[in-house]
Amino acid sequence: MWRKFGKNFGKERMKIWDVVILLFSPIAAALLSSAFNVNAFVSVFLFFGIPSLYLSLRNPMYVKRAALFALAWIPLIIMADYIAHITQTWFIPDSVNPYRLFGLVTIEILVWMFLNIYLAVLFYEVFLDRHKVVRLKSPHIKYFFAGTLAALLILLAMMYFAPQQLLIPYWYLVGGTTLLGTVILVQFFRSSRVFWKIVKTVPYFLYLCFTYEIIALKSGWWSFPGNEFIGWVTTFGVRFPLEEFIFWFVLLEIAALSYYELLDDDER
């Protein structure tokens, strides 16, 4: 009995340390970014790579599964980022790699999307889902891969045959609602219990993304040159679209984990 109590107490203490380290991580990333004047590429690893690495080392059983799921999001961000640049929704002025995919999509946005989704899955599994038996992949994940690749192929076709059709007004609102809002509604009506479990991830990622946004805009890593937004948020001396707050700070993780549960998990 005492051995079991000691083991459980040890696990709970480690879990507390996990929380402390993750809470301190964005602050450390912000301080390091400001102190060493890092570029956008390095910043992605500071803000998302460090907590991802920590959780990976602490929970290696989730790594491959989370990585496979995160990779499936790359075609989507290529499509979203390309349209965002041509519509002036957002703009990344400098890249560590002078080559940009299709002339616009930077390596920073690809690494950011991978690590963002990867961290979301790890966070969810470690603190909320806690699977004891982890399958490497689900037979349904192939449909998600196929869907994201199909979206990218549609983008390529439109780039060559109907480029004007890609100049979508209010792209952040339209794209965010289509790609994120739809699956969130499906998850809510399919299993409200799972939906509210997913929502518990929001406070941490809201804190992480908000901290990153402030440092990024002050450092000039990205900007929002357009004016087709539903509103603006002004705080800490910076200004960003209301859509940034809604779709990145709040809904991205909910949508990603909704896809994860619907396509690559057990909906429990």
Residue of 266 and 200 predicted with greater confidence: 200
pLDDT, tens digit (0-9, with 9 covering 90-100), for 145-170: 888 889 899 999 999 999 999 999 99
Residue 264 is predicted with a pLDDT of 64
pLDDT surpasses 70 at 109: yes
Classify 105 as helix, strand or coil: strand
Instruction: State the alpha helices, DSSP H only, in the chain.
Output: 2-36, 40-44, 50-58, 63-71, 74-86, 107-124, 141-161, 171-176, 182-190, 192-199, 202-219, 242-243, 252-264
Kindly provide the b/e burial profile for residues 119-134, where b requires at least 16 CB atoms within 10 angstroms of the residue's own CB. Answer: bbbbbbbbbebeeeee
Q: Identify the band that residue 142 occupies on the pLDDT scale cut at 50, 70 and 90.
A: confident
Residue 21 contacts residue 87 (beta carbons within 8 Å)? no
Please tell me the least confidently modeled range out of 66-80, 143-157, 162-176, 244-258.
143-157
Classify 201 as helix, strand or coil: coil
Residue 236 is predicted with a pLDDT of 95
> Residue 44, exposed/middle/buried by CB under 10 A (0-12, 13-18, 19+)?
buried
Q: What is the mean pLDDT of residues 10-32?
A: 86
Question: Phi and psi at residue 223, in whole multiples of 5°?
Answer: -150, 175
Q: What is the mean pLDDT of residues 218-231?
A: 96
- In the chain, domain spans: 2-264
